[in-house]
Structures are given as structure tokens and as C-alpha cells.
Chains A and B, each alone.
Chain A
């Protein structure tokens, strides 16, 4: 069974631009969560989707948004990029309705650099 895939793996953008990151969960998994990881703040929860509905949201500004498609694939978008958005963005999928009631499977992440 293929693992969680994320595209692209690396991305360089400039301030003010917007970016879209993609995540394909493990086949059969319907819950997808997004995390931002930085050296200073660690792993921080962005949002969780289940069956195309956002179930939970972290404490991030409205510039960060996401969606989930009927095939469970998910995208997150960051608009008006700031230098501080440079981070590793991780996607995780799980089988159950609510993330964390069981194991989460993480993708390799997208390394975003904002110049």
C-alpha cells in the first residue's frame, strides 16, 4: 500500500506570492491533517479534514486555508506569503473520523522557502 504523498517536495517563493501544496492520503484513509514544522515552534496543527469537511482548525491566520476533495486528496493554500511562513509542511492521514484516535501516517513534507 502506497504511503502518504506530498507534492511538491521543495518550493521557493517570494514574499507576497501564494502557494498551493498537495497531499494524497493512504488509500482508504478519509482523514487528512496538515501541520507546519519550524525549528522555533515545532510541529503545529493547521487543520483537519474528514469527508471534505474541515473538522478542526489551529491558530493560524486566514491566509492559510485548505480543502479536501471527494477522493480524500487535500490541498492547502497560503496567500500573501511572509518570510515566517518558511517551514516544512506535513500532511498526515488516518483511517478514523477524528485524527488522533489512532495512528497518523505522515508524508515526507513540502519544504517551503520564502525569500
Chain B
């Protein structure tokens, strides 16, 4: 079965540094991967989608990569700020034209 894993349950870094979160998937490469941010007590908010044929995608201080050889996506936040503290989720389609499955999330804490 398809799986998606975020190995780091929590990540603590100093303000101003680059935060790097990892998402690994099993079996076939999905057509795309999505990244979401979730704050406590709220629903996830979509951040970025990267397609299988895209190596990298950027949005302001965010950068996502997609490596089909390593079966991995990396999510970077540059010049991190305490306001970036949240849980970040990666997601993939279970199969083509199918339900979305989510990783367990990485709780990111940025200390001043």
C-alpha cells in the first residue's frame, strides 16, 4: 500500500536559520506532493504543490523539492521566524485520481 512518512515528529531551530523538513513515500512516485501548515485547533492550510516533473518549487521563503530517485520531498523555510512555528504536513494521492493521504506531520518550533 502507499505510505507517506514524516520521520521527524518535532524540529526545534533558532530564528533566522533554515528549517528543513523531510517527507518520504513508498512504492510508486505520486503525480504530485502537497505541503500544508496546521496551527493548533485549526484546519490545515495549503502551502505548495509540486509535480513529479518539477525538481523544485518556491514561494516567498518556502522551497519544496521532489526527488523521485530518493522517493523524498524536502520542505525548506529560509530566514525562519517564530511565526513559522506550526505543524507541517505533507500529502500525496493514494493512487491516480484518488484520495489524499497525509503524513503524520512535523511540529516545527522556531525559538527567538
Kindly provide the distance from the CB of A99 to the nearest chain B CB, expressed in whole angstroms.
6
Which residues 33-82 of A have a CB within 8 angstroms of B?
33, 35, 42-45, 48, 56, 58
Q: Is the CB of B97 within 8 A of A102?
A: no
> What 0/1 pattern do residues 70 to 112 of B give for CB contact below 8 A with A?
0000000000000000000101011001111111110000000
**A39, B94: Cα distance in complex, Å:** 21
**A108, B102: Cα distance in complex, Å:** 17
Question: How many chain-B residues does the 8 Å CB contact rule pick out?
Answer: 23
Which residues 20-36 of A have a CB within 8 angstroms of B?
33, 35
**A48, B43: Cα distance in complex, Å:** 17
Q: Could you say which of A48, A90, A105, A106 contacts B99, with CB atoms under 8 Å apart?
A: A48
B34: A residues at CB distance < 8 A: 100, 103-104
Q: Is the CB of B104 within 8 A of A100?
A: no
> What 0/1 pattern do residues 87 to 115 of A give for CB contact below 8 A with B?
00010100000111111111111000000
Q: Could you say which of A42, A45, A108 contacts B100, with CB atoms under 8 Å apart?
A: A45
Interface contacts (Cβ under 8 Å), in number, total 56
Q: Could you say which of B44, B49, B94 contacts A106, with CB atoms under 8 Å apart?
A: B44
> What 0/1 pattern do residues 44 to 72 of B give for CB contact below 8 A with A?
11100100000000000000000000000
Q: Could you say which of A98, A104, A109 contacts B98, with CB atoms under 8 Å apart?
A: A98
Chain A positions within 8 Å of B, measured between CB atoms, are 4, 33, 35, 42-45, 48, 56, 58, 90, 92, 98-109
Q: A56-B99, A90-B43 are in contact. List 18 more A-B contacts (CB 8 A).
A: A42-B102, A42-B105, A43-B44, A45-B99, A48-B99, A56-B98, A58-B99, A90-B44, A98-B98, A100-B34, A100-B91, A100-B98, A100-B100, A102-B49, A104-B46, A106-B44, A108-B41, A108-B43
